[in-house]
Structure 1
Amino acid sequence: MTSTDTADADAAFDFNPMVSPHREDPHLFYRAARERPITLSPSIGAYMVSRYADIKTVLDDPDTFSSAAALPMIYDNPPEVVAELEAGNVPETTMVVNEDEPRHRQMRALFDAGVSGARVRALLPLMKQRAGELVDGFTGGAADLVSEYAIPYVQTIINAVIGFPPEDTDRIQAWTDDVAMLWNPLAPVGDRVAAARRMGDYTRYLQEQIDDRRARPREDMISALVHGANGFPGLSDDYIHNIIRGAARVAGFDTTRDAITATVLVALQDPAVRDRIAEDPNRTIMKVTEEALRRDAPHRGLFRITTREVELGGTVLPQGAVLLLLFGSANRDETVFPDPDAVDLDRPNTHDHVAFGKGLHTCPGAPLARAEIRVALQTLFDQLPGLRLAEDYEPTYIASYFFRGLESLRVVW
């Protein structure tokens, strides 16, 4: 095959999670990608890293594979989008996930303070209360567990972690959706312009919260970022804006929402799994959670950028190459997880999944997310013992650049 033929083949072998068929089933691409050399996606503008071993190599070598490109910068948008951001005086800095050492250490320590083990334990009563309220509010023997359960439940918890007032939930969610839109280079430019136009209001709102915590600190993430924690001083306001609106609110909401519904779907699709939950709910729910995180990772992946020329999986990558680490593909790599598409609650290496990353940038919110998932499932199956999928239900998935989530999860009981 000539170099031109190879380039044409690579261009045809593209990945776009916003449209069919990859929106419905990205594993069509993942399975094929694992059998090919690492390939550049024209749509994404990055090399697709799909094999578990290659992704682990990247995660274990942060000096060669920098996190500076982990998430897009909103100011990397087209000029008309940037003009709206500038008009709203919207700040932009790196986030925890974009930092390499040594700067990463301080930012991670402050972020960790907001989602510490003690903080997670303190939130358990709120989790149980909110989950119970939502289930009690179901009517007519049917519900959509995305819109009526996972979304309001996770909103309540992540807003409490950050320190947002409950009454501001709707507008915070709208702004959060705008941030996700601005991260998405495949979204229509007009939609990104509209999102950028609203970011000025979000900036002013966040600054009010920061100023309030500077005068009146509380037990929340905003206060930790303002005043410092774990032996590190606080951050500048611009950094706090970026961490709260991005790594905390977007990632802390979307991934947990999608993990909850994916785990419930796994439990309801397999009668044997449902029976095991009934027999031993606490132990089984933990097993279902990990297997669902492996099989249906809620976060598609993060970017890395090479700091030098390097060979990865047989492909020589130049310095400055952008990589997209496809965690969902690694989690179904048949060389690591036999029969990877199956649900196996007794899989001996389930915890080797990379749904929350690995190494230096392992998701700091993973313990919080696992607690949210556990309480959400315990409440559902305890209060609705007859829970089952609606008879005509077929899973469909949101059009999302970063996240893999159900559009709805219709159940009856």
Structure 2
Amino acid sequence: MTERTEMTGQNAPTVHFEPLDPSLANEYHEVSADIRERCPVAWSTGHWSERDTGFWLVTGFPEVNAAALDHNRFSSQQGATPVQYDLDMLRLIPLENDPPLHKRLRLKLNPFFTPNAVNGVEQDVARIVDEILADCLIQDPCDLIGSFATVLPPRAFFELFLNQDPKDLGHVFELVDAMQTQPERALEVVPQILGWCSGLLETARAEGRRDDLIGTIAHAGLDDADDEVRMTEPERIQMMYLMVVAGIDTTQSALGSIFHELARDPDLRKRIATLDDDGLVQAVEELLRYTSPVTLAGRTVTEDLELGGCPMTKGDRVNVNWTSANRDPKTFPEPTNIDLSRANAKRHLAFGAGIHACLGKDLARREIRLAVRAVSRLRRFDLAAPEPIPYRSGFTRGPLRLPVHLER
């Protein structure tokens, strides 16, 4: 990535930052820090769609947090991904809805992802973690990305929340991964995922299911009593699509990055192994801050305003950089250190902030916590390949593969 800084006619610093530049994969933190230190809000000449260039890049924690919390002036309605594609068939519902519809839709989904709901499946998640780890232990070396990080989130979500057998869904996982890592294939991949989601909804209605997650989405806006939510069938399918994508990619990227840190730092793993439950909760928050798997989120300015001293015009595109914000030394002193006792670690933005914060964040935290506890207790957990471990960078960031030697 070439990067330069100059002053625009609006007296705002200018950089060239391409959100999907593959060269960012292993230097994302360094590039983001360099920009943040000089201009926490800057105008980027990079792409925000296949054809369009020019967006505001927000990298400082105070500025990112302010934009994320101000959903009225920084809207998701015109697209919440950092790069937009010409996909008339796809809208990320409810992520790309503003209030009041956003609130009404979230109220339908929230009961499935509350802390109490996650408590109800914790033993099953722990069982799945143990089964996956047992499979990993018979491999030497074991690629923890292909054998663990990309297995746990979809298996837990599809089995426990969608009542689907993950063993039958390898093709769906491949499509979702392609959408995240190769967004240029969107026109090929998205219709296939939407078609599968459509089948889930049709089956739920045919079976008369209304109380589970798929059944709730399948009947959203169909009941006479549901006057506040009017949805077309394509919109219901799009909501199901977001549940599927969100249930797979973010957590697996977080797991992969956290496993990498544990494998490269034996002392860190030993310290985590000695923590009690409260200490482990705190440690996972710090690891999420440090790894920050979701890179960016897109917003559109709805009125002329100023952020970080930079004047923004109605209609401007904005990308908030969660990854950079989580390493802003103004908020997190010595941000490149993993401090398991960091008092404000939970202020991180790894799951976003505001009304559009990740719906499944409590499930993700629980999966990560159980996985970290399990691997921290292994006698051996060593890298089986030289650094640097190759990373992928797109809408999310994490290791492509992570070969390790494991012993119980």
Taking structure 2 as the reference length, the TM-score comes to 0.85
1:105 aligned residue (103, 107, 120)? 103
Does 2:244 correspond to 1:243? no
Where does 1:130-145 land on structure 2 (aligned, <5 Å)?
Answer: 130-138=128-136, 139-145=138-144
C-alpha RMSD of matched pairs (Å): 2.9
Structure 1 residues 200 and 305: alpha-carbon distance in aligned structure 2, compared to 1, 3 A threshold: closer
Structure 1 residues 198 and 100: alpha-carbon distance in aligned structure 2, compared to 1, 3 A threshold: closer
Higher mean C-alpha deviation, range 129-138 or range 36-45: 36-45
Counterpart Cα distance in 1 of 2:289 and 2:142 = 26
Does 2:210 correspond to 1:214? no
Q: How far off is 1:304 after superposition?
A: 1.0
Counterpart Cα distance in 2 of 1:389 and 1:128 = 24
Are 2:82 and 2:298, in contact at CA under 8 Å, matched by a contact in 1? no
Alignment correspondent of 1:31: 33
More helix by share: 1
Gaps of 5+ in 1: 86-90
Q: Secondary structure in 2 aligned to 1:137?
A: helix
One-letter amino acid of the counterpart of residue 28, structure 1: E
Counterpart Cα distance in 1 of 2:260 and 2:83 = 34
Structure 1 residues 98 and 391: alpha-carbon distance in aligned structure 2, compared to 1, 3 A threshold: closer
Q: How far off is 1:36 after superposition?
A: 1.6
Alignment correspondent of 2:187: 196
Alignment correspondent of 2:396: 403
Q: Secondary structure in 2 aligned to 1:96?
A: coil
Does 2:216 correspond to 1:224? yes
Counterpart Cα distance in 2 of 1:388 and 1:281 = 23
Structure 1 residues 69 and 401: alpha-carbon distance in aligned structure 2, compared to 1, 3 A threshold: farther
Q: Secondary structure in 1 aligned to 2:341?
A: coil
Alignment correspondent of 1:88: none
Alignment correspondent of 1:169: 169
Q: How far off is 1:103 after superposition?
A: 0.6
Q: Secondary structure in 2 aligned to 1:238?
A: helix
Are 2:177 and 2:249, in contact at CA under 8 Å, matched by a contact in 1? no
Structure 1 residues 97 and 407: alpha-carbon distance in aligned structure 2, compared to 1, 3 A threshold: same
Q: Secondary structure in 2 aligned to 1:164?
A: coil
Q: Secondary structure in 2 aligned to 1:41?
A: strand
Structure 1 residues 327 and 200: alpha-carbon distance in aligned structure 2, compared to 1, 3 A threshold: closer
Q: How far off is 1:181 after superposition?
A: 6.0
| Percent identity between the two aligned chains | 24
Q: How far off is 1:172 after superposition?
A: 1.2
CA offset digits 1:289-315 (Å, max 9, x no partner): 111111110100211111101011011
Are 1:93 and 1:238, in contact at CA under 8 Å, matched by a contact in 2? no
Where does 1:18-97 land on structure 2 (aligned, <5 Å)?
Answer: 18-20=21-23, 22-34=24-36, 35-36=38-39, 38-45=41-48, 46-72=55-81, 76-77=85-86, 91-97=89-95
Are 1:266 and 1:288, in contact at CA under 8 Å, matched by a contact in 2? no
Are 2:83 and 2:298, in contact at CA under 8 Å, matched by a contact in 1? no
Alignment correspondent of 1:159: 158
Structure 1 residues 5 and 12: alpha-carbon distance in aligned structure 2, compared to 1, 3 A threshold: closer
Counterpart Cα distance in 2 of 1:93 and 1:333 = 32
One-letter amino acid of the counterpart of residue 254, structure 2: A
One-letter amino acid of the counterpart of residue 242, structure 1: Q
Counterpart Cα distance in 2 of 1:268 and 1:385 = 12
Are 1:163 and 1:221, in contact at CA under 8 Å, matched by a contact in 2? no
- Paired residue total: 386
Counterpart Cα distance in 1 of 2:181 and 2:76 = 21
Q: How far off is 1:393 after superposition?
A: 4.5
Counterpart Cα distance in 2 of 1:168 and 1:234 = 33
One-letter amino acid of the counterpart of residue 124, structure 2: L
Structure 1 residues 164 and 137: alpha-carbon distance in aligned structure 2, compared to 1, 3 A threshold: same
Q: How far off is 1:49 after superposition?
A: 0.4
Structure 1 residues 137 and 332: alpha-carbon distance in aligned structure 2, compared to 1, 3 A threshold: same
Alignment correspondent of 1:325: 320
Are 1:75 and 1:92, in contact at CA under 8 Å, matched by a contact in 2? no
One-letter amino acid of the counterpart of residue 295, structure 1: Y
Q: How far off is 1:287 after superposition?
A: 2.7
Counterpart Cα distance in 2 of 1:56 and 1:152 = 32
More strand by share: 2
Counterpart Cα distance in 1 of 2:263 and 2:310 = 41
One-letter amino acid of the counterpart of residue 215, structure 1: A
Counterpart Cα distance in 1 of 2:139 and 2:229 = 52
Counterpart Cα distance in 1 of 2:336 and 2:355 = 28
Q: Secondary structure in 2 aligned to 1:303?
A: strand
Higher mean C-alpha deviation, range 61-70 or range 333-342: 61-70
Counterpart Cα distance in 2 of 1:258 and 1:202 = 20
